[in-house]
Amino acid sequence: MAAITRYNRNREMKEFDRMMNRFFSSDIKMPSVDIMDKDKEYLIKAELAGFDKSDVSVSVEKHSITISAESKEDKEKKDGRNYLLRERSYNSFSRTFTLPEDADEEKIEAAFKHGILTLVIPKIVKSEPEVKKIEVKSEN
């Protein structure tokens, strides 16, 4: 009898540990991001699998760019499906990156295709300073 009680207690403790690990572990998965410095622009590519274009938001404020996405689905039956377990019903994230000083924040373009968000951030073209010739006068 003691062996059965010990077995049940061990099983209950393992289940409790598993439940606590699920509760305290971070299920937030940040998307993979590539940032490239090209000659005339910066390029950011973010992998947003599972999101639709309408789920994605990009904003620029105070020399920072924020990429965020939020996807919700009803927990009710959808399209005649009767889920026994549903772990993918809600997903969200937000990431912020500081923009370089030469980023042209007014001309940033965003495109979303096949789960990849591509941001093109043009660089501000600095013109060469104009050389002004100064006439050298002779003193009498």
Segment 1-17, tens digit of pLDDT: 445 455 556 666 666 66
Tokens standing for residue 9? 């207690």
Give the three-state DSSP class for 12.
Answer: helix
Question: Does the reported pTM lie above 0.95?
Answer: no
Q: Please name which of 43, 67, 41, 38 lies closest in space to residue 55, comparing C-alpha atoms.
A: 67
Bridge partners for 44 per DSSP: 35, 119
Q: What contacts 14, CB < 8 A, 6 or more positions away?
A: none
Q: Is residue 68 within 8 Å of 92, Cβ to Cβ?
A: yes
Query: First CA to last CA across the chain, in angstroms?
Result: 119
pLDDT per position as a tens digit, 92-129: 889 999 999 999 999 999 999 999 999 999 999 877 77
What is the rounded distance in angstroms from the CA atom of residue 58 to the CA atom of residue 120? 12
Displacement of CA 28 from its chain's centroid (Å): 11
For residues 45 and 114, is the Cβ–Cβ distance under 8 A?
A: no
Q: What is the mean pLDDT of residues 31-59?
A: 92
- Percent of the residues in the chain that have a pLDDT greater than 90, as a whole number: 43
